[in-house]
């Protein structure tokens, strides 16, 4: 089907524009008229228009979803209809991707579809937890409560991700600066000394030879460096997409010093918080565990939860497969077992989530504190190699002159 760009006027006299898919221009105009719009213009979108639309699309951050859920729940609680609420929210959303989704969902609901199914049409972008909870809210009649819980869920998820990014920002910036410094030195500074080193006619230190080799490589064979970098990135992506790569990298993320503990804590906090939110909204334990498994990025946690779901369907308590998986902290399955015995898993998971989120805070501060001296040592090592490579031969030459 072709894509047509349109400009219309709705029943209230408000101008609107967007895109619609149809077999022909006539069919596109008929669709718009059937939705109650007065068509001002409707033309087929060119290739450039389509490319631009694809390029400007961006992911929806948890923070954006939190704001949307909070505002949407408040509007519904005020007695506004779902269709009107969707229209109001789509007009004020800054995120263009979310704005487009809300407009599509509004059209879907106007045609008689459910709100959950409308969001399900965009399941590649909208998290499964949001779709599941909206469906549960529609079935129970507590849609406003579900959106309030979703708002809290996404807000905590956003804060958790922000803390992880905060711990990684400093070492990444230092690493980038170190790489830039080395490149500038070998391209602009070392060549100034290369002729002098050649005239010395002496055996150069290993550090100097390495710097001269890097200088020649970046100045005269930069294309080879570019090819190697592209090849490494391409091979890494292929490896990361393979089943073996996912398991190897997933295990590395769990076992790597310093950051491994942080990743495990984050997975435990996300599992407990999401499971608590889903079960409190009326989602069954099996569906809840499946939803948590789908949101996991590490294959080891994903497979552990998928296996746990299968075991729960067979009548096995959730705590047993969670303990047997061996990837979650021991406290998580223990608290799940207590919740199973008391019949109140969701409240227990809520407390566990609070605990692990607090542990993430503590671990993040420890990681940040540990990375500062470590990065300083790395920078000092790089500077030391450069200084030794540049001034080592000069000092050797002066010492040789003194011995004459």
User: Can you spell out the DSSP letters for 34-65?
Assistant: HTTPEEEEEEEPPHHHHHHHHHH--PPPHHHH
In this structure, are 18 and 94 located in the same domain?
no
pLDDT at 198: 64
Q: How confident is the model over 291-311, as a mean pLDDT? A: 89
Q: Is the pLDDT reported for residue 49 higher than 80?
A: no
In this structure, are 67 and 108 located in the same domain?
yes
Q: What is the mean pLDDT of the chain?
A: 81
pLDDT digits (tens, 9 = 90+) for 155-192: 887 887 777 777 777 778 878 887 887 788 777 777 77
Q: How confident is the model over 287-308, as a mean pLDDT? A: 88
pLDDT at 213: 82
pTM over 0.75: no
In this structure, are 75 and 40 located in the same domain?
no
CATH number, domain of 327, equals 1.20.81.30
Q: Is the pLDDT reported for residue 306 higher than 80?
A: yes
Q: How confident is the model over 372-395, as a mean pLDDT? A: 76
Is 294 within a domain?
yes
Q: What proportion of the chain, given as a percentage, has pLDDT over 70?
A: 89
Token output for 302 = 């994903």
pLDDT digits (tens, 9 = 90+) for 117-127: 888 888 888 88
Question: Which residue segment(s) compose the domain that 51 sits in?
Answer: 2-56
In this structure, are 299 and 320 located in the same domain?
yes
CB of 154 within 8 A of CB of 65? yes
CA distance 207 to 181: 16
Is 31 within a domain?
yes
Is 68 within a domain?
yes
pLDDT at 133: 82
Higher pLDDT, 346 or 338: 338
pLDDT digits (tens, 9 = 90+) for 24-48: 777 777 877 777 777 777 777 654 4
pLDDT at 54: 41
In this structure, are 278 and 335 located in the same domain?
yes
Is 39 within a domain?
yes
End of a domain among 56, 78, 93? Answer: 56
In this structure, are 95 and 140 located in the same domain?
yes
Token output for 17 = 């524009």
User: Can you spell out the DSSP letters for 147-210?
Assistant: HHHHHHHHHHHHHHHHHHHHHHHHHHHHHHHHHHHHHHIIIIIHHHHHHHHHHH-S---HHHHH
> At 20, is the secondary structure helix, strand, or coil?
strand
pLDDT at 13: 65
Sheet holding 38-44, edge to edge: 15-22, 2-9, 38-44
Is 234 within a domain?
no
Is 402 within a domain?
no
End of a domain among 119, 137, 155? Answer: 155
pLDDT at 21: 73
In this structure, are 88 and 47 located in the same domain?
no
In this structure, are 83 and 10 located in the same domain?
no
In this structure, are 76 and 148 located in the same domain?
yes
Is 38 within a domain?
yes
Most confident segment among 19-23, 217-221, 227-231, 260-264: 227-231
CATH number, domain of 46, equals 3.10.20
Q: Is the pLDDT reported for residue 320 higher than 80?
A: yes
pLDDT at 273: 84
CA distance 227 to 204: 30
Is 146 within a domain?
yes
In this structure, are 48 and 68 located in the same domain?
no
Please count the structural domains in the chain: 3
pLDDT at 290: 86
End of a domain among 56, 79, 99? Answer: 56
In this structure, are 139 and 86 located in the same domain?
yes
In this structure, are 309 and 358 located in the same domain?
yes
pLDDT digits (tens, 9 = 90+) for 195-251: 666 666 666 677 777 877 888 888 888 888 889 999 999 999 999 989 999 999 999
Q: Is the pLDDT reported for residue 149 higher than 50?
A: yes
- Max CA separation in the chain (angstroms): 100
């Amino acid at each position: 089907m072709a894509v047509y760009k349109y400009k219309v006027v709705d029943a209230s006299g408000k101008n609107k524009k967007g895109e619609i898919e149809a077999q022909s221009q006539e069919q596109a105009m008929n669709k718009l008229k059937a939705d109650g719009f007065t068509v001002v213009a409707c033309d087929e979108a060119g290739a450039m228009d389509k490319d631009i639309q694809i390029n400007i699309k961006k992911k929806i951050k948890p923070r954006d979803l939190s704001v949307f859920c909070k505002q949407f729940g408040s509007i519904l609680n005020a007695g506004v209809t779902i269709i009107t609420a969707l229209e109001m929210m789509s007009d004020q959303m800054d995120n263009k991707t979310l704005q487009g989704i809300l407009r599509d969902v509004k059209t879907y609901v106007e045609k008689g579809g459910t709100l959950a199914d409308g969001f399900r049409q965009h399941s590649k972008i909208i998290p499964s937890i949001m779709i599941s909870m909206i469906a549960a809210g529609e079935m129970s009649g507590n849609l406003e409560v579900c959106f309030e819980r979703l708002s809290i869920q996404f807000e905590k998820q956003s804060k958790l991700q922000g803390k992880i990014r905060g711990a990684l920002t400093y070492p990444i910036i230092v690493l980038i600066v170190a790489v830039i410094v080395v490149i500038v030195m070998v391209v602009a500074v070392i060549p100034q000394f290369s002729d002098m080193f050649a005239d010395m006619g002496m055996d150069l230190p290993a550090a100097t030879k390495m710097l001269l080799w890097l200088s020649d490589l970046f100045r005269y064979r930069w294309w080879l460096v570019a090819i190697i970098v592209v090849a490494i990135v391409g091979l890494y992506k292929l490896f990361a997409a393979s089943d073996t790569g996912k398991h190897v990298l997933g295990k590395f993320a769990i076992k790597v010093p310093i950051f491994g503990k942080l990743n495990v804590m984050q997975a435990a906090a996300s599992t407990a918080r999401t499971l608590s939110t889903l079960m409190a909204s009326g989602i069954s334990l099996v569906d809840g565990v499946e939803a948590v498994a789908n949101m996991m990025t590490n294959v080891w946690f994903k497979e552990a939860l998928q296996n746990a779901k299968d075991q729960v369907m067979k009548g096995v308590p959730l705590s047993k497969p969670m303990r047997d998986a061996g990837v979650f902290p021991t406290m998580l399955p223990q608290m799940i077992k207590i919740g199973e015995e008391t019949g109140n898993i969701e409240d227990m998971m809520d407390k566990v989530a609070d605990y692990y989120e607090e542990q993430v805070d503590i671990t993040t501060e420890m990681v940040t504190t540990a990375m500062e001296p470590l990065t300083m040592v790395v920078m000092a090592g790089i500077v030391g190699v450069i200084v030794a490579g540049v001034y080592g031969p000069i000092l050797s030459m002066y010492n040789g002159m003194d011995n004459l």
